[in-house]
Amino acid sequence: MKKRIFLIALLLSVIAVSASALALSDTRQLNAAFNDIKVYIDGELISPKDALDRPVEPFIVDGTTYLPLRAVAEALGKEVEWDGPNQSVYVGRKPLDPSTSKIAIITCTLSQDEETYCSAQELVEKYGADRVVHKTWPYNFYDEQDEMSMIAGQIAADPSIKALIINQAVYGTVAALDELLKTRKDMLIVLYDPYEEPSDLTKRADLIISTDEIGMGPAMVQQAQRMGAKTFVHLSFPRHMSYYILSDRYDLIKEECSKLGIDLVTYTVPDPVGDLGMAGAQEVMLQEIPKLVERYGKDTAFFCTNCGLQIPLIRAVADTGAIYPQPCCPSPFHGFPLALGIISDYEGEIDYSFGGAKFMSAEITDILKKKGVSGRLSTCPLSASMLFTHAAASYAFKWIDGEVSKNGITVAELQKIMEGLAGVNVYTRAYEEDGEKYPNWLMVREDYITY
C-alpha cells in the first residue's frame, strides 16, 4: 500500500530521534511504501518506537529501506541523542572537543614502581596538568579496593576526561572499571600488565598491553647469536622454573638454541629468598660466572631469571668479556647502574625519563668501551612500562583528535608510535590463552640496542 507523506528534515522525524527534529526548513514530497516491514536484530524481532514510546513503521522510498534509528541503535546497545541546536544525531560516543579533553593516568605509587610513576609525571610536565591527570592506586591495593573504585568514580565524574590509562592493572581493576562504566561508556580505556582474568578485562578495556615474556625467549637467543655466542647459559632455580611463563619460555629458548646450533647449558643458582638471602646469592654469582666463562669460553651468553641477580651477572660478564643479551626486565635502568658503578647503592638517584634513559645508555656504552667489551652487552632502549605509558598517551590524544578510528584499536598506528618512541623495531601479537585469541590484548616486545 502506498501512502503520500511529507518527510521533514530529511526523514529525521521518521527515524524517530526526537520530535524537535521537525524544525528544519527543507521539505520534500516523496512516495513511501509501507509494506509491514519487520526488523530483526540477531534473530530477535523488535518493535520500533520513537522517543515518546509510539510505534514507528519502517518504509521504502525509491528502493531504499528507512528504519527507525533510535530503535535499531538501542537494540544494538548504543545510546541515541538528538542535538537540536546543531541539528545532529549522536549514536554512541559524541564527537570530542580536543581543546578541552583530558586523559587520566593511574599508576602505582613512587615507592612501588619508580619508572611507571615517573613516566606519568613526565607526561604531566609535557602536556600540562590541564590535559593529563595523574592518580595512583592505594599502596596496599589488595585491601583497599573500595578506594580503587572511588578513584575510578572520580575520573568518571569529570566529563572532560576522555581516555583512561592504567599502568599497572592490578587486582581490583575490574571492579574499579565497573564503577567507571556505570556512567561513562564514551571513554577510551587502555591497560598495561593486567593481573585479572582475560575474559573479564577484555570486555571492559579497549586495549590491553603486556610484555611478551614468551616471545622474548627466541629473541634473546637470536640476539646472542648476532653477538657471537656459541653457548647459551640459562641461570635460574626451581621456584622460578615452576612458573609456567618461565618454563614455557625456557622450552622456546631450548628449541631456538637447537635450531641455531648454539649449545644450551642449564645452570642452577641460589634462590635469593633461600637461606643465603640476596647478598649471599649475589656473591655466589660473582664467583660462579668467571668459572663458567673459563669452562665454555668468552663466546658464552648468560641469561638469569631473577632481577636482583642481574647486578652481579652484568658485573661478572663485563669483567670477563662474555656475552649478556638482556636483563630479565630489559631496560638500561635494570641492573646496569649498580653493576657498572653509575650509582653507588640502591638509594642512588636515577632520572627515570626519556632523557634519563638516553643518558644511562650513553654512560653504559662509555664504561663498557673503556673495559674493552663493546658489543658484548645489550638490552632494550626503554623499560616496557615507560614505553607503554608514553605510547598509550600519544595514541589517546590521537583518538581524541580523531586521527585514529573510534571503533577498535588501529594496531599499525600504535606500533608506529612505539617504534618512534623506542627508536627500534617493536613487535606485537595478539594474546592467546587456551586456544582463544584476544585481539584487543597485545603482547609487545622491543628490539635490542647493543652497547
Task: Round to whole Å and give the CA distance between 392 and 411.
Answer: 12
pLDDT at 236 over 80: yes
pLDDT at 94 over 70: no
* Mean pLDDT of the chain, nearest integer: 89
Which of 87, 85, 56 minimizes the C-alpha distance to 69?
A: 56
324: β partners: 377
Residue type at 139 in one-letter notation: Y
Could you list the beta-strand ranges (E) of 72-126. 80-83, 88-91, 102-107
Task: Round to whole Å and give the CA distance between 52 and 17.
Answer: 10
Task: Round to whole Å and give the CA distance between 33 and 4.
Answer: 9
pLDDT at 25 over 60: no
Nearest 5°: the CA angle 245, 251, 255 is: 145
Quote the distance between the C-alpha of residue 329 and its chain's center. Answer: 16
The mean-pLDDT minimum among 194-198, 223-227, 252-256 falls in 194-198
Q: DSSP assignment, residue 340?
A: T
Provide the percentage of residues in the chain whose pLDDT is more than 90: 67
- Ramachandran assignment for 418, one of left (phi > 0), alpha (psi -120 to 50 degrees), beta (any other): alpha
Do residues 436 and 320 touch, judged by C-beta distance below 8 A?
no
When pLDDT is cut at 50, 70 and 90, the band that residue 112 belongs to is confident
Nearest 5°: the CA angle 388, 389, 393 is: 110
pLDDT, residue 250, reads 98
Mean pLDDT, rounded, for 282-306: 97
Higher local confidence (pLDDT), 437 or 344: 437
Quote the distance between the C-alpha of residue 156 and its chain's center. Answer: 21
pLDDT, residue 99, reads 61
pLDDT, residue 7, reads 33
pLDDT at 37 over 70: yes
Please write the tens of the pLDDT for every residue from 184-202. 989 999 999 988 988 899 9
Question: What contacts 412, CB < 8 A, 6 or more positions away?
Answer: none
Supply the pTM of this predicted model.
Answer: 0.76
DSSP-assigned letters across all residues of 315-356: HHHHHHT-BB---SS-STTSSHHHHTTSSSSTT-----SHHH
Task: Kindly state the cell numbers that stand for 278.
Answer: 640476596
When pLDDT is cut at 50, 70 and 90, the band that residue 53 belongs to is confident
Using DSSP bridges, classify how beta strands 231-236 and 188-192 pair: parallel, antiparallel or unpaired. unpaired
Task: Round to whole Å and give the CA distance between 156 and 154.
Answer: 5
319: burial class by Cβ within 10 Å (0-12, 13-18, 19+)?
A: middle
Q: Which domains does the chain have, with CATH numbers?
A: 2-91 (no CATH), 102-213+385-450 (3.40.50.11400), 216-381 (3.40.50.11390)
